[in-house]
Amino acid sequence: MRKWAGTLLALWVIAVALIVGFFYSQGSADLRGQDRQPIAFSHQRHAGELQINCLFCHRGADISPAASIPPVYVCMMCHRSLKAQTPETQKLLTYWNNKEPIPWVRLQRLPEFVRFTHQMHLNAGFKCTDCHGQVAQMTSTPRAATFEMGWCIRCHQRNGASKDCFTCHY
Amino acid sequence: MVEYRDQNAPPGGPYRWGMVIDLDRCTGCEACVVACHAENNIRISGEEEASKGRAVNWIRIERYWEGEYPNAQVKFMPVLCQHCGSAPCEPVCPVYASYHTPDGLNAQVYNRCVGVRYCGNNCPYTVRYFNWFEPHWDEPLNEQLNPDVTVRSVGVMEKCTFCVQRIRGAQQTAQKEGRRVKDGEVTPACVQSCPTEALVFGDRNDPNSRVSRLSKDDRGFGLLEELGTEPSITYLKRIK
């Protein structure tokens, strides 16, 4: 009886660890983010098949701290001359005709006490894919990394960048 | 492509930021106080909170009266964090939230701070402020918060940063162009807003900067420098 109790306890601990770990990784990866987007936008279609440069839509990335989400008129630069419509592009046209912004759900988010600049990292020679993964092959766009402090610090150490607290926290 | 990646290792050695405050120029207008509030997301305290000593002002104007009315003379002194070279607030922090950066700033890391307030109690200048409440701004002031500065939450200590967000911004531009930050390229909000140019900011490691030259003035002194805090701010005042 004693022996069984020990085994059961161990199994129970492992099960709890697995469940907690599963939900933790889900939270980190934001895998369900796509379901919450108002339009089923595909990076795989735009950046992959059509080979549109990241900076064409995310115009702030190399000139400002924020990469920025494109306004509707950037979408319409191409979409206004498209003949064939799908239900998803119809949604885009509705937003355009109503002169409303698209309420995208933000997936890549840092805590309030972190100051990050895209510009500086691109200037230092990094590519979008270094942090965001192979976006050109993703239909939905989950977070490719945890974007937690240990992850930042490891890269800063590898590249001889500043490890001073006051670089990112102020 | 950048030539250096560590902001603390620019060509020609690290920076050492400092300030000179010319008291003979200060008129006590408090433009610096207003500018600091706007730039650094400093929460607004009412009369009641202020009377309990809970108001937050990273920079304040101290006022001294000499003589009796109508022959009174008023003297003003802007007091902000002195960014001491040997800071009393730093060794008392149990979690290293208060520490010295390689470029001579006395930093407060909000996400490390656990709110024991030892640093504030050990500061001879009383320029560290504790957040007793969650910050609040009435409409429409909440729309003007600076996105480059953290909004400090309840339970953490905060203080003057020499507008580090502006320093880092100038350093990024300089780093992109592979050079050092030029003299006068960084101006903290208080320095920028001073109508009489009583406040001057710059790199004390550059012997030709305005700050270096002015701090050698024979009017110069450090606030409570007899305590051995080695302040980064030099005050100038003609003794009559």
- pLDDT value for A146: 85
Segment B71-89 shows an average pLDDT of: 95
User: Is there a contact between B150 and A170 if contact means CB atoms under 8 Å apart?
Assistant: yes
Confidence of residue A27 (pLDDT cuts 50, 70, 90): low
Q: Is B146 part of a structural domain of the chain?
A: yes
What are the pLDDT digits (tens) for B148-167?
999 999 999 999 999 999 99
Quick: pLDDT tens for B133-152.
Answer: 999 898 999 899 999 999 99
Confirm or reject contact between B173 and chain A (CB < 8 A): no
Domain extent, residue B82, equals 17-236
* Domain layout of chain A by residue ranges: 1-30, 34-69+104-167
Tally the domains of chain B. Answer: 1
Higher pLDDT, A106 or B200: B200
Q: What is the domain-level CATH number for residue B167? A: 3.30.70.20
**Cα distance between residue B125 and residue B122, in whole Å:** 9
Q: Judging by beta carbons within 10 Å of its beta carbon (0-12, 13-18, 19+), is residue B240 exposed, middle or buried?
A: exposed
Q: What pLDDT sits at residue A29?
A: 46
For the stretch B22-78, pLDDT in tens is 999 999 999 999 999 999 999 988 899 889 989 999 999 999 999 998 999 999 999
Tell me which chain B residue has its CA closest to the CA of residue A122.
Answer: B1
SS3 B62: strand
B2 belongs to a structural domain: no
Contact B45, B55 (CB under 8 A): yes
Residue ranges in B91-215 assigned as alpha helix (H) = 118-122, 164-176, 189-193, 210-215
B99: closest CA among B115, B79, B113, B114? B113
Domain assignment present for B12: no
Q: Give a yes or no: residue B8 inside a domain.
A: no
Q: With contacts defined as CB-CB under 8 Å, which chain A residues touch B1?
A: 123-125
- What's the pTM? 0.86
| Tokens 């933790």, located at residue | A24
Domain for residue B171, yes or no?
Answer: yes
Residue B2, pLDDT score: 53
> Complex ipTM, two decimals?
0.85
Whether chain A has a CB inside 8 Å of the CB on B170: the answer is no
Tell me which chain B residues have a C-beta less than 8 angstroms from the C-beta of A117: 172
In a domain, B132, yes or no: yes
